[in-house]
Structure 1
Amino acid sequence: MQATNRCSKPTLIGAALALAFTLLPATGAQAQDGQKDFYRAEIVILQRLVDPASVEEQMAGKQIEPSRNIEKSLWVEDANGRRSSDLKLAGRNELHLGRAASRLENSGNYRVLAAAGWYQSFPPNYDGSPMRVAIGDWLTGAQQKAVEGHIEIDRKRYLHVGVHLNHWQDGSAPEASAPAIEAGSTVEAPKAEGAGSIADMAENTQPVMAEPVPAELVTWIKETRRMRSEEIHFIDSPTIGVLVFFRKL
């Protein structure tokens, strides 16, 4: 019995040590995989300072896809300019894209609407959720921001960024039109019965007001592009643009 006890104790210790050393390399490999898929993501959204009326591509009549129920926010501002985001965003002065954004802004041709940077893991076959964007001027008639939409990041073999942004402006004022008169009909002269008859006629000939247009589409971006790390990518339309940068950590 004593010989059995002396043999069993070293055997158990050896088995425990073997199991521990077997687990350690796996844990290290998992940490390396986590670092390999970890990125610094940066997105800057710009508005090109041009008169919307000068844009050749007139899009006021374009049909817009119904708004998606997007729960996650990248950069959403309210009427007072207060920002909300579901990401922990870095300051603009910390961004790699900060200098590029400043150069564009200093040129006098662009206005920076949002500059976002954050850390996130993008493992292979990552299917990202759309992130809502609402920035720019506040359109009183439509009760919304001038630039609205969403941005989505996926990873298959490469990182892909899908930009879906609409640029809106205040709708044009409706024009008054005279009431239609059927062909062959006659308009009776006012009866000489005092001011009452003239008032009645004036009431019946009030101009017809068209329904106001709360907002008109200026341009949009609907594009998905493959991204390479350490390269600055620019996706744009005649009035808005998006700078994108990824750095693998």
Structure 2
Amino acid sequence: MYKPAFNSSGRLFAALALLVALAAPALAEDRYRAEVVVLERLADPIVKEQMADKAPEVKEGLKRLWVVDPSGTVRSDLDITSNLTLNTAASRLENSGKYRVLMKTGWIQQFPPDYDGKPLLIEVGELLEEAGHRAVEGTIEINRRRYLLVNVELNHWRNAADPGADGERDGSAPESASPDTGEGTESTESTESTENDGGDGTGADTRGVGTSPASSPGMKAASGKELVTWIREIRRMRSEEIHFLDSPTIGVLVYFRPLD
């Protein structure tokens, strides 16, 4: 009696196996190694921005990328690694005496097309006890359209009682040039085009320092802290290139490498 080589269940299993085999290369192409370094500029900048009354949006319930708790312990909700391509660039900047590395980390993640990421929490630097958090805090968010897009929103705070805490220093705004990392660091100048309504991600949107739509007069007295500067920038990422985003007092190195 003739028996078919595959019954209906066997044909279904074979079809599923073929789909998995065909999908595997596509999934591999969506895997990236992401790396982030946050730096503090050591030289006292000449800042004329009026930031003391700015109130950045408070985001809660986020996954932690790198949060230093009051005891100094690093907390992260990602499987992070310290074996970074950015280690060399970070060391060069520290050795220059102009920067201090506050955090450096990397992780592996899939970023498929049209990926909408969630903000990842960062909290590093000096502990501001009255404020209840570290001096540098905020988020980094990664999305993908035609390109990977990184949205950095970091705030740099200080105690309100510190010298010069009235937020008014004389002088002109400092230059915002990329540091010499020796690794082909991209310029911090923003492009004129922004991500279009269709989500193509064809450009970068640099929103600069001191342009928040929200403000809260009297916040300094209530919280015991004041805002020094911040970073508000969306940058289109080119794979295997180091990107530098900065403000007068803090900077961020970002690097992505696709994995085969």
TM normalised by structure 2 equals 0.72
Q: Report the 3-state secondary structure (helix = DSSP H, G, I; strand = E; otherwise coil) of the residue aligned with 1:32.
A: helix
Alignment partner, residue 146 of structure 2: 157
- State whether structure 2 residue 76 is matched by structure 1 residue 85: yes
Amino acid at match of 2:117: G
Amino acid at match of 1:113: L
* Rounded Cα–Cα distance in structure 2 between residues aligned with 1:61 and 1:13: 73
* Rounded Cα–Cα distance in structure 2 between residues aligned with 1:212 and 1:173: 15
* Rounded Cα–Cα distance in structure 2 between residues aligned with 1:13 and 1:216: 72
Amino acid at match of 1:83: V
Deviation at 1:141, TM superposition (A): 2.9
Alignment partner, residue 76 of structure 1: 67
Write out per-residue CA displacement over residues 67-125 of structure 1, whole angstroms, 9 at most, x where no aligned residue: 0123210111112211100011102xx10000000000111100000101000000011
Amino acid at match of 2:112: P
- State whether structure 2 residue 42 is matched by structure 1 residue 49: yes
1:123 equivalent among 91, 97, 112 = 112
* Rounded Cα–Cα distance in structure 2 between residues aligned with 1:173 and 1:49: 16
Contact 2:33 2:106 in 1 (8 A): yes
Write out per-residue CA displacement over residues 38-83 of structure 1, whole angstroms, 9 at most, x where no aligned residue: 00000000001022xx422333334223301232101111122111
Contact 2:128 2:158 in 1 (8 A): yes
Structure showing greater Rg: 1
Q: For this pair of structures, how many residues does the alignment match?
A: 203
Write out per-residue CA displacement over residues 12-59 of structure 1, whole angstroms, 9 at most, x where no aligned residue: 5477776555444321111111101000000000001022xx422333
Structure 1: runs of 5 or more not aligned: 1-5, 175-209
Superposed counterparts of 1:131-210, under 5 Å: 131-172=120-161
Amino acid at match of 1:159: L
Contact 1:126 1:155 in 2 (8 A): yes
Amino acid at match of 2:235: R
1:33 equivalent among 10, 26, 32 = 26
* Rounded Cα–Cα distance in structure 1 between residues aligned with 2:24 and 2:221: 61
Select the structure that is richer in helix.
Answer: 1
2:233 equivalent among 209, 223, 227 = 223
Alignment partner, residue 49 of structure 2: 58
- State whether structure 2 residue 117 is matched by structure 1 residue 107: no
> Identity rate of aligned residues, in percent?
48
Q: Which contiguous aligned blocks of 4+ residues in structure 1 show a shift greater than 6 angstroms?
A: 14-17
Q: Report the 3-state secondary structure (helix = DSSP H, G, I; strand = E; otherwise coil) of the residue aligned with 1:28.
A: helix
Write out per-residue CA displacement over residues 146-191 of structure 1, whole angstroms, 9 at most, x where no aligned residue: 00111101111110010000001111379xxxxxxxxxxxxxxxxx
Contact 2:139 2:153 in 1 (8 A): yes
* Rounded Cα–Cα distance in structure 1 between residues aligned with 2:18 and 2:5: 21
Asked which structure has the greater RCO (Cα within 8 Å, sep 6+), the reply is: 2
1:214 equivalent among 208, 215, 224 = 224
* Rounded Cα–Cα distance in structure 2 between residues aligned with 1:134 and 1:65: 14
